[in-house]
Structure 1
Amino acid sequence: MIQENDFDVVIVGGSYAGLSAAMALGRSLWKVAVIDSGKPCNAQTPHSHNFITHDGDTPAAIAAAAKEQVLAYPTVQFIEDLVTGVSGEDNQFEVFTEKGLQLNVKKVLFATGVKDLMPDLPGHAECWGISVIHCPFCHGYEYHDEETGIITNGEMTLDFAKLIRNWTPKLTIFTNGPAVFGDQVKDSLEELGVSLNERTIEKIEHRNGYVSQLVFTDHTTQHLKALYSRPPFVQHCRIPEQLGCTLTEQGHISVDTTQRTSVAGIFAAGDNTTMARSVSGSIAAGGMAGARICHDLISQQYS
């Protein structure tokens, strides 16, 4: 339960980046509130990989252990709530929540992630993060040498195929309609040993999120074990944009090497700032943000 309204830092989002920043700040004796609504984007992902000491753990288990360790520091509070607005300026921000809280804070860190926009393709959302995947470094090993597909149709098709070809030779490009790239790309795919299927996909058949086959509108099918997909995304939280934070061309919050945004006193870390989405990367970014915020608070305290 919240005990006061004045904090040095509010962290919006209590997953990996947010908790990592909270640990750095808690160990630095700053008063921190972590506000989280309990809806992580990787909720249905069964295992986290490519993260030493935690390879194969569930994302929920990693987050739960992190939360327990962070809350051992007495200056850190965890609030289950949704931030609905932020106003003010550096060192004089007000943070508002869905449950009616109004917190006075010096710095704000957004560790709010992104929201993937699922295509209108039956089975895609149900398999997302399980066998419909976005990152070979996170999931590729589990499907190496298996029948694998990539949904892609555009200028990045060949590069994407070259990347995934490293994990499996049993690879098919699904353009989900006529290919928009020319014969040169088609010839290069053939040289790689990558098949091309231009049929329109009707649905992804699966069992409990594990792909079994694609069904096409012409009633043909193709067996698969995994399907790479990179759907578009939007910022999970629009407040940084409302505050004036600059976004990159790709739609991420623009930050410097210490996770500062373009707005003084506002920081961002995690998937909302980079296309390289990973648990380990988010933790590293959160740690950096926490350290930078600490330095800024100290510098301003003695200026």
Structure 2
Amino acid sequence: MIYDCAIIGGGPAGLNAALVLGRARRSVALIDNNQPRNAVTHASHGFITRDGVAPAEFRRIAYEEVLRYPSVNHWQTEVTSVNKTEYGFEMFTSSGVSVQARKLILATGVKEIYPEIEGFYPLYGKSLFNCPYCDGWELRDQPLVVVSEYPTAFHTAKLLLNWSKDVVLCTNGQASLSDQQKEWLHSKGITVMEQPIASFIGQNGYLEQVRFSDGTHIQRSGGFVTPKFVQKASFGESLGCEMTELGGVKTDDFGRSSVTSLYAAGDSSYFMPSQLIYAAADGSKAAMGVNMDLMEEYFD
């Protein structure tokens, strides 16, 4: 069987794309390895009607809704390679299953690479996060730390003042701020510390101290650490897609890539802002792009 569309990735982008295509009566192969990036997160926020939902519960509800549509089929396995064919695409999986489809949506998302700082991972998802819009409310009015080695450090520190007036920005040894930016931050009460961080200290998932390599330390109860985002899978690049400066698949408003019949949605295309509601909306648009293009091909 050749499906109308295959979707690689079962996050909000892939699931919403499958929902829209299922409702459009398109045959869909949804392939997901069940390794979501937000698995460590206790609750997801900012999605209307689902604010505070556990990621596993969000996925359970989503799959229940999507698989009501008989034309949507689901494989829980990992795609190992994708080939372009005369009819579209062929996906090969770690379970030995191969799937053929006329169109392909990449919704594989991104993975985060965090600074190598001792003590980070036991605190991640409880008191250290990466997105103020996702978790700033839970840390409101607390003494917070922002750890960022990138030029976005200035913006993140400013943004965090919405949730707390007690903010320390740490650049972990990187010269990512101009003198003028430091002056601006200081004028608003944000302390800047540029020495390398030795470790995060905390108990039961909750931050207590940030210790620096020079022996100094500060008391903090939570904060945000900026990761580097990279593609979770390289299918887009290997298939010849034009990429953005940030490393995402470059798409038009309906998810179309530079490769015919290949689409991208969610973090696979735009990287930021990395939120459920953005990804789900992007999946919906890509699905509409697929459906429109299939219909145009039918009339042609």
* Other-structure match for 1:110: 106
* Residue identity opposite 1:144 in structure 2: R
1:132 CA drift (Å): 2.0
TM-score by length of 1: 0.93
Segment of structure 1 superposing worse, 81-90 or 163-172? 81-90
Cα distance, 1:109 vs structure 2: 0.6
**Aligned-residue offset at 1:154:** 5.3
2:155 aligns to what?
Answer: 159
* One-letter amino acid of the structure 2 residue matched with residue 224 of structure 1: R
Q: TM-score, normalised by structure 2?
A: 0.94
Q: 2:278 aligns with which of 265, 271, 281?
A: 281
Between Structure 1 and Structure 2, how many residues are aligned?
299
Q: Which moved further from structure 2: 144-153 or 85-94?
A: 85-94
Q: What runs of 5+ residues in structure 2 fail to find an aligned partner? A: none
Deviations 1:232-265 (A, max 9, x none): 1210010110001111111111111111111110
Distance in 2 between residues matched to 1:62 and 1:154, nearest whole Å: 32
From 224, 232, 239, the equivalent of 2:235 is 239
Letter paired with 2:244: T
Q: Which residue of 1 aligns with 2:299?
A: 302
* Residue of structure 2 in register with 1:200 after alignment: 196
Task: Answer yes or no: is 1:142 the counterpart of 2:144.
Answer: no
- Aligned to 1:103, the other structure's residue is in SS state strand
Q: 2:181 aligns with which of 179, 182, 185?
A: 185
Q: Does 1:125 align with 2:121?
A: yes
1:169 aligns with: 165
Q: CA deviation at 1:181?
A: 3.4
Shift of 1:29: 1.1
How far apart, in 1, do the equivalents of 2:217 and 2:192 lie?
A: 14
Match among 10, 30, 49 for residue 14 of structure 1: 10
8 Å Cα contact 1:26-1:76 kept in structure 2: yes
Name segments (4+ residues, structure 1) moved above 6 Å: none
Higher mean C-alpha deviation, range 225-234 or range 251-260 = 225-234
Q: 1:39 to 1:153 in 2, by over 3 A?
A: closer
- 1:268 CA displacement: 0.8
Q: Which amino acid aligns with 2:202?
A: H
Say if 1:147 and 1:81 are closer, same or farther in 2 by CA, change over 3 A: same
In 2: Cα distance, 1:14 partner to 1:96 partner: 17
Match in the other structure for 1:217: 213
Identity of aligned residues (%): 36
Unaligned runs of 5+ in 1: none
- 1:68 maps to 64
For residue 113 of structure 1, report the CA deviation from its aligned partner: 0.5
Cα shift readout 1:71-91 (whole Å, capped 9, x = no counterpart): 111111110111111112574
CA RMSD of aligned residues (A): 1.7
Provide, for residues 156-177 of structure 1, a one-character-per-residue CA deviation record: whole Å limited to 9, x for no partner.
3332222111221100011223
Please tell me whether the aligned partners of residues 89 and 264 of structure 1 are also in contact (alpha carbons under 8 angstroms).
no
The SS at the match of 1:22 is helix
Q: Give the partner amino acid of 2:122.
A: E
